[in-house]
Chains A and B, each alone.
Chain A
Amino acid sequence: MAFRALYDAAAPKLFGFALRILRKRELAEEALQEGFVSIWHAAPHYEAGLAAPLTWMAAIVRNKALDILRRTDDTVELDHDAFRDEYASTPAEASEMSSDARALAACLARLEGLHRMAIGLAFFHDLSHTEVAQRMSLPVGTVKTWIRRGMERLKSCLSHAEAP
C-alpha cells in the first residue's frame, strides 16, 4: 500500500536525521514513529507548492525529535570533536541529495567553517545562542552575530540558486 511505500522511501533518511538529533536509537525510533503517525494524519493537507515532500516530512520528524529532546533534556552527550567533523566539512554524498539539499550545501560551504558549525549545532541539537556559545567557547554576542549574518547570507545565496 501507498503509506508503506512512502515509509520505505523516506524512513532511512528521516531515521538518520532523528538519530543525529537524539543520538539514541530508541529515542530516534520514538520520534520516527510519532512523526509517521502525524504524517499520515497531515498528508491530505500537504501543499506541494510550499515544500518538497521530504522537507515537509523532515520538519514534522524534527519537531517530534525536539519534543523528545526537551523532555529528556541533558541526557544527550555532545562530543566536541565529533561536531567539528560533522559541521566543519560539507557532506560527501552529494549525488544522493535532492537539488534543494545540494543548493543548501553549496551555500553553507561559502560560509566560514565556524559560522557553519554554529548554525549546525543550533539546528541539529536545539541549542540556544548561549548553549552554542558555551560549546564553542565563544562570547554569546559573537555567536549571535555569526548566526544572524550566516542566515542572511544563506537566504541571499539560496535566492540566487533558485533563480532560473
Chain B
Amino acid sequence: MNIRGNEALRDKLAAEYVLGTLRGGARRRFEGWMYSDAALRMLVKDWERRLLPMHEFVRAQEPSAQLWRNIEMRLHLKPERSSWHFWRGFGLGTASAAAAAALVLAISMQQLRGPSYDLVATLTDQQAQPALLVKADTRKRLLQVHIVGGAPVPVDRSLQLWAIPKKGAPRSLGVLGAEGRGTFALASSAVGDDVVVLAISLEPRGGSPDPDGPTGPVLYKGPWVRAM
C-alpha cells in the first residue's frame, strides 16, 4: 500500500501509532514508511506533542533513592577512583551535561510547579552576550528578573527595566535591587501586543528621574517573546 498523497490516512495512522492502537504487521509497516518519510515522522511528532501531555494527569510519585544511583552508575556520572575513568567519563558526557542544563532551564521556565512563565526575554549586551533573563507570568501578574552575566553596577547607580513599545515613550517596569535580581508586579503596560523589546538602562540610584524614559545609557536589550 502506498500512503503518500493520502493525507487523511497518513494522519489517522500517525495518531493510532502514537496512541498505541496500531498493532502487529500494520505497526511494523508504518515504522518502515517512517524510516524513509520525514513528513510522516513530523506527523508522528505532532501527535506526540498533542497526546503525551496526558502523562501529567497522573499523580507524581517518588521513585526509590537507589534508582538515581543506578542511573549514575550506568552513565559513569560519578568520578571513579581511577583518574582515567574520570577523564573519560567527563569527556564523553560534556555534550549531554550541557544539553541537560538547557533542558532543566526550559522545564523550570515552562512548567512543573509554581508560576508558569509565558513571556520571556533574554537581554544581551552590545556583544550579544546574555546578561539578564526576564520572565513573566501574565496570569499571576508576576515579573522576574535574573542576572546571568553582565558588568557590575556602581553603588551610586541602579539598573532600570523598560518595556519599549513600537510607538511612544518607554514604560518603566521596575528598578532592580542592588543584587540585580527581583520580582515585580507585572504592569499591564508591559504585556501589550505593542511591546516587543525590553531594555535595561543605567540610571542614578533609585531610577530615572524622567518618568517617560531612561536618562542613562541602554546597556542591555532583547525581544519580549511569548513562550507558550
Q: Which residues of A contact B (CB under 8 A)?
A: 1-7, 9-17, 19-20, 25, 28-29, 32-33, 36-37, 40-41, 43-44, 46, 48, 50-55, 57-59, 61-62, 66, 90-91, 93, 96-101, 103-105, 119-120, 122-124, 126-129, 132, 147-148, 151, 154-155, 158, 164
Q: Identify A15's interface contact among B11, B20, B60, CB under 8 A.
A: B60
Q: How far is the CA of A164 from the CA of B45 in the complex (A)?
A: 21
Judge whether B71 and A98 touch: CB under 8 Å. Answer: no
Interface string of B75-115 (1 = CB under 8 A from A): 10100000000000000010111111111101110111100
Known: A15-B60, A154-B50. 5 other contacts (CB 8 A): A40-B96, A43-B95, A51-B49, A53-B103, A158-B50
Question: Is B35 part of the binding interface, using a Cβ–Cβ cutoff of 8 Å?
Answer: no
Which residues from A are CB-within-8-Å of B61?
Answer: 12, 15-16, 19
Which residues from B are CB-within-8-Å of A154?
Answer: 50-51
A104-B50, A122-B19, A123-B51 known; A99-B228 Cβ under 8 A: yes
Judge whether A9 and B63 touch: CB under 8 Å. Answer: no
Judge whether A43 and B100 touch: CB under 8 Å. Answer: yes
| Chain B contact residues, majority secondary structure | helix
Q: How far is the CA of A40 from the CA of B101 in the complex (A)?
A: 11
Which residues from A are CB-within-8-Å of B23?
Answer: 128
Judge whether A33 and B71 touch: CB under 8 Å. Answer: yes
What's the interface size class on B, roughly?
A: 35 or more
Q: Which residues of B contact A (CB under 8 A)?
A: 11-12, 15-16, 19-21, 23, 45, 48-64, 67-68, 70-71, 74-75, 77, 93, 95-104, 106-108, 110-113, 116, 118, 226, 228
Nearest chain-A residue to B62 (Cβ)?
A12
| Complex A-B: 5 CB contacts under 8 Å | A5-B100, A43-B96, A52-B110, A96-B113, A124-B54
Distance (whole angstroms) from the CB of B63 to the closest CB of chain A: 4
Judge whether A17 and B48 touch: CB under 8 Å. Answer: no
Judge whether B118 and A14 touch: CB under 8 Å. Answer: no
Q: How far is the CA of A51 from the CA of B12 in the complex (A)?
A: 20
A100-B53, A154-B50 known; A128-B21 Cβ under 8 A: yes
Judge whether A1 and B77 touch: CB under 8 Å. Answer: yes
Which residues from B are CB-within-8-Å of A1?
Answer: 77, 97
Judge whether B60 and A100 touch: CB under 8 Å. Answer: no
Judge whether B71 and A36 touch: CB under 8 Å. Answer: yes
Which residues from A are CB-within-8-Å of B111?
Answer: 52, 54, 97-100
A98-B111, A127-B20 known; A2-B63 Cβ under 8 A: no
Distance (whole angstroms) from the CB of A19 to the closest CB of chain B: 6
A29-B67, A37-B75 known; A58-B19 Cβ under 8 A: no
Q: How far is the CA of A158 from the CA of B50 in the complex (A)?
A: 7
Judge whether B57 and A105 touch: CB under 8 Å. Answer: yes
Q: How far is the CA of A12 from the CA of B56 in the complex (A)?
A: 11
Which residues from A are CB-within-8-Å of B45?
Answer: 50-51
Which residues from B are CB-within-8-Å of A124?
Answer: 54
Q: Identify A155's interface contact among B50, B68, B106, CB under 8 A.
A: B50
Q: How far is the CA of A103 from the CA of B11 in the complex (A)?
A: 21
Judge whether B48 and A51 touch: CB under 8 Å. Answer: yes
Judge whether B100 and A3 touch: CB under 8 Å. Answer: yes
Judge whether B101 and A2 touch: CB under 8 Å. Answer: yes
Judge whether B56 and A13 touch: CB under 8 Å. Answer: yes
Which residues from A are CB-within-8-Å of B52?
Answer: 51, 55, 58-59, 62
